[in-house]
Amino acid sequence: MMTFLLAVVLLIVGYIVYSKVVERIFGINDQQPTPAYAKGDGMDYVPMSWWKGSLIQLLNIAGLGPIFGAILGALYGPVAFIWIVIGCIFAGAVHDYFSGMLSLKHNGEQYPSLVGRYLGKPMQAFINIVSILLMILVAAAFTAGPAQLISELTPLSFIAAIFIIFGYFLMAALFPVNKIIGKIYPIFGAILIFMAVSVGAALLLSSHQVPNLTYANLHPENLPVWPLLMVTISCGAISGFHSTQSPIIARTLKKQSDGRKVFYGAMIAEGIIALIWAAAGMTFFGGTDGLQGALAAGGPAGVVNEISISLLGTLGGILAILGVIILPITTGDTAIRSSRMMVTALLKKGIKHTKGKGIIIIATIIVTVPAFLLSTIDYTFLWRYVGWTNQLVATVMLWTGAIYLLINNKFHWICSVPAMFMTGVVCTYIFYAPEGFNMDYTLSMILGAFFTIVIAVWYVRKIISHSKDQNRFSKAS
């Protein structure tokens, strides 16, 4: 129990202390107009209060991610607490802050454009494809589950439910951000927080004992912690999907100092939610073996339902249904919206005479159609790649932040150290995982270390080159 409570306290302290360190290093100026005012268009660039932006950001980046991912990560035991705390404070929240604040700094630019500015056009082209595909897959994945549950609880068929959900997606993507998302998301964000806090309080007051820290790997199948845990628990620790969502809110901030509360703060809140569900998962069923059996019987949704109803009664059942239906849908719609924004930026470069609503509608159709088709078929084989792709996107965003800090003579280690860590994760994972090259674990570790060292050498050369440029500039002046 003490490990869990200490983990929650550390996340709160991390926000109070480290978020201010990150903000100071990045540098803010509240006298400079934000894109919400400088580029106000009544569609995406619309000023909103920081508290509303925080709740929308939380719902955008969270959904069922910190619930399902944390429950699956709980199979490893209390070591999951360590990853959530360290990953969230020093990697995930930093990642989210830089993805949002760099977007704000560059007039609300999308994630691929930011990558292009600091890592070059070839990387931008690659990330454009990867991030749009990731969001289409996320939208498809987070539609099928709710549609299936709706078809079980109502007379509607699965296909009819799919059409209704995508009808909502179209409205959310095409309407101004303050008309639908700005009005209902704060409510749903509050539901997400209430659901997690209620489960956490009921768990603490119950006879269940949350296990304290042990470094032993408690996974029933003895799967290795590195790098699988870091991919299994992404939302709640670090997730590249967040970097595609942050520009949505970056276009609505009233002042730069709101960024710490919105971007860093929402990630810490998501980390606390992940801690609660990880604790519930590894405790409620009598250990990781029991959790494994519950997952085999009903999947993560069944586990959420059983925990919620058992701990909270009728209220828990209502919350579980709301969570499994509403939360993934509200992640899917912003996935469509942000991918629409990215495609719009691409189309503006390629189609010179299409402007305004026309180009927005075309971009929405381009991303909605494939997401709809994927949601109606067995896309499980594609979904297996989302976890790695998600963390790859996060790694690139951290390197983007590191280069920004380096070239601006700021303390770049706050981004480059977690970027190097995540480089090791994605390099090792792709060689070891079944959806990757499915290699021997030891060989995967060797190859992962090799490519991580290659990236490290690249970055060291960047540091040396920048230092030489600075020396030449000093001498010239």
Q: Which pLDDT score is estimated for 461?
A: 96
Contact 229, 218 (CB under 8 A): no
Residue-wise pLDDT tens digits, 217-239: 889 999 999 999 999 999 889 99
Identity of the residue numbered 194? F
Contact 83, 237 (CB under 8 A): yes
Contact 185, 330 (CB under 8 A): yes
In a domain, 469, yes or no: no
Residue 203: strand, helix, or coil: helix
Q: Which pLDDT score is estimated for 151?
A: 81
In a domain, 33, yes or no: yes
DSSP 384: T
Angle between helical axes of 288-350 and 181-205 (0-180°, round to 10): 170
> Which positions ≥6 away from 406 have C-beta within 8 Å?
412, 416, 462, 463, 466
In a domain, 356, yes or no: yes
In a domain, 265, yes or no: yes
Q: Give the residue ranges of the chain where pLDDT is below 70.
A: 63, 350-357, 378-384, 473-477
CATH of the domain at 337: 1.20.1740
For 339, counting Cβ atoms within 10 Å of its Cβ (0-12 exposed, 13-18 middle, 19+ buried), the class is buried
Number of separate domains in the chain = 1
Q: Which pLDDT score is estimated for 316?
A: 75
**Spatial distance between the Cα atoms of 278 and 268, rounded to a whole number of angstroms:** 15
Contact 114, 128 (CB under 8 A): no
In a domain, 20, yes or no: yes
In a domain, 394, yes or no: no
Q: Which domain holds residue 153?
A: 2-385
In a domain, 456, yes or no: no
Residue 244: which H helix or E strand, with range? Answer: helix 241-250
Q: Which pLDDT score is estimated for 96?
A: 98
**Spatial distance between the Cα atoms of 441 and 424, rounded to a whole number of angstroms:** 14
Residue whose structure tokens are 């998600």 = 390
For 209, counting Cβ atoms within 10 Å of its Cβ (0-12 exposed, 13-18 middle, 19+ buried), the class is exposed
Alpha helices in 62-210 (DSSP H): 65-73, 79-87, 93-105, 111-119, 121-153, 158-174, 181-205
In a domain, 396, yes or no: no
Residue-wise pLDDT tens digits, 9-59: 999 999 999 999 999 999 999 999 999 999 988 888 999 999 999 988 988
Whether omega before 227 lies within 30 degrees of 0, making that bond cis, reads yes
Q: Which pLDDT score is estimated for 56?
A: 86
Tokens of residue 27, six digits: 């540098």
Identity of the residue numbered 195? M
